[in-house]
Structure 1
């Protein structure tokens, strides 16, 4: 009994300490929380250099390389929780694109899709990877599909999560809001961050208040650059669109959309399916724009099953 009482007291003190850390030291709590998530997924943060940029990335696991690319306004940690079910099978490499996360962010650099495709190839060279499997969320899916079209021998497969970049689909709330001069995916003020989370996800994972606070401040700090990158994507959409580039590309692909995606229309999944003849399409019920964050275990396990079905 004394042992049980002591355990309860220890747990209470631990919980109290975490509460105080979360409330009074948000940046430290955020670093601790992110470090814990990465540790549980067997990921370590590393740095590499390519011409003009320093690139932050996470790496862990062993096996065939799986390079993961986040979407606009996001970073490498969008994949951290899902990686828990990926690192037992693959060498997982989640990068911060130039302009995002902890990677370099020169204000006047070109962040268009073709430029990011070339930087992705420079990252591949820096990692000494002649070939890899690729996963990409939203804009990241756009980039990896464009990469596979330009460097087909370097892409073993594609995992497209709510991927943007097709032409001819339905205009979403994001595009309609942009026409009114509004940016639904970005936070101009800290209080906007909660609205962004509600917009991009149907099933929001638990995020401690301190982490939300720090992420909101980071989003505000990046608002000017990221909205400039977004404007470039919209203004050059037809030029950057994947339709003609990936049509009939034989690379195996798993296409995943949430039926509650408000940022990229789930119907675009059918466009991707028609463009990529060796592809599978999954529409997840009750999921929004970020399946790997909303249902990380399910999404990761389905990806592993997809990979197991590929020719050896």
Structure 2
């Protein structure tokens, strides 16, 4: 190899840089993980902001301009679950992605209730500060349950809904994984030790999204630290009253998205949500599991943009 040739020198330098990054990822995974998440946020045009509700810290990501689009993560998730898909949304909307109390970088208070209604109320309090008035609301899994509950509690504040593999109906909860949880208390969303995060990702996706080693370590350690709290919160969530038909639901344009290979929440849940929301459109995503916005972010965003155009929502 002629190292004096400019192209060869550049390739050699790039190779050394990649090796250095891989070593850093392995030797300092927590720092690497935090930097990796921050880089993805920046690439999506998002900035970290600080908010609170009921005395509980609720940091959130914000980027873009225009009509507010608020996105709510699922159980064991956080605001970064939507950072990848936000890359295709911030050119069109003002995207707001909070951490719910008990998750991500939000406050932990084991003595506080964390029911679906409690989280919807806290979300409303946060939005009073950062996005008063109607918003377009989306949510995945537990976040979809909270979004639908929010729409029942505050229908005047919801311009449209985007429900991605949402919890909250009997059909959605009929999966083998949730039945196993009801019988044993064991499920992949409860991370007991750092390595269990890999089990969580495998259970939630068909083709695992690219997640560097440092990010997996960071999220695995955080999940293990939250194991006792999340075990209690999962019990509260499993005992939550299911969604019921609401007069307000009939007026809300709703996009229902479901991964056909979702193992956490049964794909039959899509039809049950379509029955709840008469002005809805349903998209079943082939080869996708529980996290469409992570597994197929470009397609998920494209479908959402088309939905917004076709429903003429402001």
> After TM superposition, is the score higher than 0.5?
yes
Matched, 1:191 2:195: yes
Report the Cα distance in structure 1 between the residues aligned to 2:52 and 2:174, rounded to whole angstroms: 38
Matching of residues 59-208 of structure 1 within 5 Å: 59-168=62-171, 171-178=174-181, 179-208=183-212
2:311 maps to 310
Matched, 1:233 2:242: no
Contact 1:174-1:185 within 8 A present in 2 as well:
no
The alpha-carbon distance between structure 1 residues 128 and 200, as it changes in their structure 2 partners (threshold 3 A), is: closer
Report the Cα distance in structure 2 between the residues aligned to 1:166 and 1:23, rounded to whole angstroms: 42
2:275 maps to 274
Kindly state the Cα deviation for residue 116 of structure 1 after the two structures are TM-superposed: 0.7
SS in 1 for 2:163: strand
TM-score (norm 1): 0.95
Contact 2:151-2:249 within 8 A present in 1 as well:
no
SS in 2 for 1:80: helix
1:50 corresponds, among 46, 49, 53, to: 53
How many residues in Structure 1 have an aligned counterpart in Structure 2? 309
Listed one character per residue, the Cα deviations across residues 147-189 of structure 1 (whole Å, up to 9, x for unaligned) are: 1111111000000000000135562122211112312211112
2:288 maps to 287
Listed one character per residue, the Cα deviations across residues 68-106 of structure 1 (whole Å, up to 9, x for unaligned) are: 000011000000010010000000001100111001111
1:5 corresponds, among 1, 5, 8, to: 8
Report the Cα distance in structure 2 between the residues aligned to 1:211 and 1:50, rounded to whole angstroms: 28
**Which sections of structure 1, spanning at least 5 residues, go unmatched?**
none
2:223 maps to 219
Kindly state the Cα deviation for residue 247 of structure 1 after the two structures are TM-superposed: 7.5
Aligned-residue CA RMSD (Å): 1.5
Listed one character per residue, the Cα deviations across residues 218-242 of structure 1 (whole Å, up to 9, x for unaligned) are: 1101111111111011123xx2x11
1:210 corresponds, among 201, 214, 222, to: 214
SS in 2 for 1:68: strand
Listed one character per residue, the Cα deviations across residues 227-275 of structure 1 (whole Å, up to 9, x for unaligned) are: 1111011123xx2x11234785320000000010011111110010011
